[in-house]
Amino acid sequence: EIVLTQSPATLSLSPGERATLSCRASQSVRSYLAWYQQKPGQAPRLLIYDASNRATGIPDRFSGSGSGTDFTLTISSLEPEDFAVYYCQQRSKWPLTFGGGTKVEIK
Amino acid sequence: EVQLVESGGALVQPGGSLRLSCAASGFIFSSYDMNWVRQAPGKGLEWISHIRTSSTTEYADSVKGRFTISRDNAKNSLYLQMNSLRDDDTAVYYCARDAKYKDDYWGQGTLVTVSS
């Protein structure tokens, strides 16, 4: 199965700062990578699909990039509601797999 | 408005069975593949099963042979039959709409606790 490794595990930042989250795949997933945001007690929410396409209603401060094995989710300027856990997921091969998550916390 | 509502979660003993349901509304259910994803307490997300519009299926190794995904398009419903439940199946179970390479809508989840 394709293993996704997210780094860092925790990112401590202040509102207004830029967040850069990494997701590395154990083999190429082409551009079939999605990013989700999850807040405590809530279901995950789709942010980015096909590596770089924003989902409906997602603010443009969220952007995704990468292809093959290395991907990045960037939040250009953190808003208070952006502090959450972020997961990447590959959609290239079965079984679908998620990364372990990156927690973005308030510094 | 797209809505997915899971139900059926409960406390069950190891070795027991449970059937989860996911009621879909606000879209043409028969036109979409669907997924089940679970999350153990304090842990990350784990994809466990997929069903296509054709009703062909995929499973994670962790549940293969024990869980069965199915759908009833006439009832706009998705199901997960879980047999031979183990302690490590304890999790919140989410259904999600698969919109071709992305899960764009998720239910609120239903909690399954496996414990004696």
pLDDT at B100 over 90: no
- The tokens for A13 are 């930042």
Counting other chains too, the contacts that A13-18 makes at CB distance below 8 Å and 24 or more residues apart are A13/A78, A13/A104, A13/A105, A13/A106, A13/A107, A14/A78, A14/A106, A14/A107, A15/A78, A15/A79, A15/A80, A15/A106, A16/A77, A16/A78, A17/A77, A17/A78, A18/A74, A18/A75, A18/A76, A18/A77, A18/A78
Amino acid letter, residue B116: S
Query: Nearest CA to CA, how far is A76 from chain B (Å)?
Result: 23
Question: Residue A88 above 90 pLDDT?
Answer: yes
Is A38:B43 a contact under the CB 8 Å cutoff?
no
Disruptive mutation site among B39, B64, B103 for chain A (greatest number of A CBs within 10 Å): B103
Query: Phi-psi category of B26—alpha, beta or left, where left has phi over 0 and alpha has psi -120 to 50?
Result: left
pLDDT at B36: 98
Sign, Cα dihedral of A56, B50, A22, A39: positive
The encoded tokens of residue B43 equal 């842990």
DSSP string, chain B: --EEEEE---EE-TT--EEEEEEEESS-GGGSEEEEEEE-TTS-EEEEEEE-TT--EEE-TTTTTTEEEEEEGGGTEEEEEE-S--GGG-EEEEEEEE-SSSEEEE---EEEEE--
Please answer yes or no on whether B101 and A45 come within 8 Å at the CB atom.
Answer: no
Is A84 touching B (CB cutoff 8 A)? no
Q: Do B102 and A91 touch (CB under 8 A)?
A: yes
Q: Bridge partners of B82?
A: B18, B67
Tokens of B103: 């899960």
Task: Give the number of A-B residue pairs with CB atoms closer than 8 Å.
Answer: 57
The tens digit of pLDDT for each residue in B19-77 reads: 999 999 999 999 999 999 999 999 999 999 999 999 999 999 999 999 999 999 999 99
Average pLDDT of chain A to the nearest whole number = 97
Scan residues 35-54 of A and list those with Cβ closer than 8 Å to B.
36, 38, 42-46, 49-50
Mean pLDDT of A5-21: 97
Q: Are B10 and B85 in contact (CB under 8 A)?
A: no
The residue assigned the tokens 């396409």 is: A53
Chain B residues whose CB is inside 8 A of the A89 CB are 45, 47, 103
Task: Give the separation between CA A72 and CA A19, rounded to whole angstroms.
Answer: 10
Q: Tell which residue, A30, A29, A42, A40, has the closest CA to residue A98.
A: A29
Predicted local distance difference test score (pLDDT) of residue A6: 98
Average pLDDT value for residue range B87-105:
96
Indicate which of B50, B61, B102 best probes the interface with A, i.e. most A CBs within 10 Å of its own CB.
B102
Inter-chain residue contact A50 with B60, CB threshold 8 Å: no
Q: Which residues pair with A100 in a beta bridge?
A: none
In the predicted structure, residue B108 carries a pLDDT above the cut 90: yes
